[in-house]
Structure 1
Amino acid sequence: MFDWIQPYLPPVNSISYYILRGTLTFLLVAVAARAISIIIRRAFLSNAQLLRHNLSERRRTTLRALVSSLTNGLAILISLFLILGMFVQPSALFTFLGLFSAGLGFSARPYVSDFLGGITLLFEDQFALGDKVEIGDRQVVGCVERISLRMTYIRGESGELWLVPNGDIRTIRNFTRGKWSPASIKLTVPTTKLDETMVVLHQIISDPGDDVIETPEIISEDGEIGAVTTTITLKVKARYSMAPAVRERLITQLQAALTEHHVLAADENRE
């Protein structure tokens, strides 16, 4: 059926024959890896829907990156083994694989640990692309830009790029998944005006805004009333990432109300 193509093929057992065969093998394995990658991604998404887990777009992007990295690595390994099988007898190939695995386990233990860490990230939703995290063991803080099977790329707060091996990730602090952000305010007021200050603070916390998740607390951190001035802390929990806007709004309201009640003088400081 394919006799017409025989004249265009290189002679059997020639160098060009093995090059052509190896190239075709690699292409077939690459196509198969691509198909397996798509199947695995759809299986993850279907499983998440069955378990009623709503995957965010960041998590979907992270899964795509990790699955692609995994299937690409497997495709390369399988291609190498198939190509070696053209030149080596199966029994000798299995012996070589056994020795290679033993040597790899001892000499490349950190790399194996990195790949296993990448597989762990595939199944556990610890962080995703775009999340702001802190890797506790490495004291690295920044936003996750890329995740591969071996490395996690984090853009630091000063613009630097951190390359963290997945095997070194033990303790993770995920800022993006926090439920609230602190927006507390400290006030230093004259002790003689403490009663007026408390009235103003209670008026403010009665309607702190929709971006404050619970009623603010009025506390004194040192528990002391000074002879001249007293420091009071308004403890506020804002919705995550809304702390700057909440603090700015409350400071403006406090300044206006305290000035109206003649609590703040021109030479007094407010934090």
Structure 2
Amino acid sequence: KFSSAIGDTHNYSNIVYYGVGWRPDKKLIEKGNIIFGKEIGDILVKAIRGAANRVMISSPWIGRGYAEMLVEKALEGVVVRVVTSDRDDNEGRFLATIAEHYREEELKKAEEAVEELKHRERAAKSAMRRNIALTAIATVLAVVASIRFAVYAHYLYVLAGSLTSLSIFFYFAGKRRIKIIGEKLAEAEANFKMVKESVMADREKIKRNLSVLIAPKDVAFVHAKLYIVDGRAWIGSPNLTWSGMHENYEVLVEVDVNDAEEVFTELWNMVKQLRL
């Protein structure tokens, strides 16, 4: 009896559960449509990765890596529908707004590269104008001084000539620097345009193929775990998280896909109502 085992310190590691056939070294046990054990992800994740048409999932917790996998499927053209929770520790919540922020950092870096080069181009032009203006003023002052101080006229003319040469140097050096920066800027602008077009196209794909409903935690906690992938469906205990897919001992049952789709539709509509 279970009550007799309370406080018992005996080692039961030699017990074999013949009815189920479970062993600590065996990852999965299959009995008809029922699957039990660790590494449930060998079935579910493999199915999701290979989805060609649709993925419909209800899981209160979704790990970030698995959420990203669902986004990848949406980008491939697979229709993805997800019901998940608004729990603070649910990394999958970001799926609801991913279409607005997808590849945001990449786009931001490309834009920042353009702005940085524009700043450098403006600074280079300003420096060139400033250097030329200063040497021109110094040249004029040297010429004026040569007239007033005739005894130093020779040296002042040499100085004026040197300053003129320096001014010419500043001009051509500045022009060369501006040209180099301009070429880099053109490349950066072309890259930004390409990245932006790519990002916008990906965001449109996500908007078109990925639908997510977040069950508000202050109204209800949807604890159902349901997985539909193309023509197959499963219900069970695992969340779409690393622990649920690979570490915990979970139970998974394959069910009729049509029945599962009806249940998912009912769940979807119910969560929609909860959000009103």
TM tier relative to shorter chain: under 0.3
**TM-score under structure 2 length normalisation:** 0.19
**TM-score under structure 1 length normalisation:** 0.20
Instruction: Return the structure number with greater relative CO, CA threshold 8 A, min gap 6.
Output: 2
Larger radius of gyration: 2
Greater share of helix residues, 1 or 2? 2
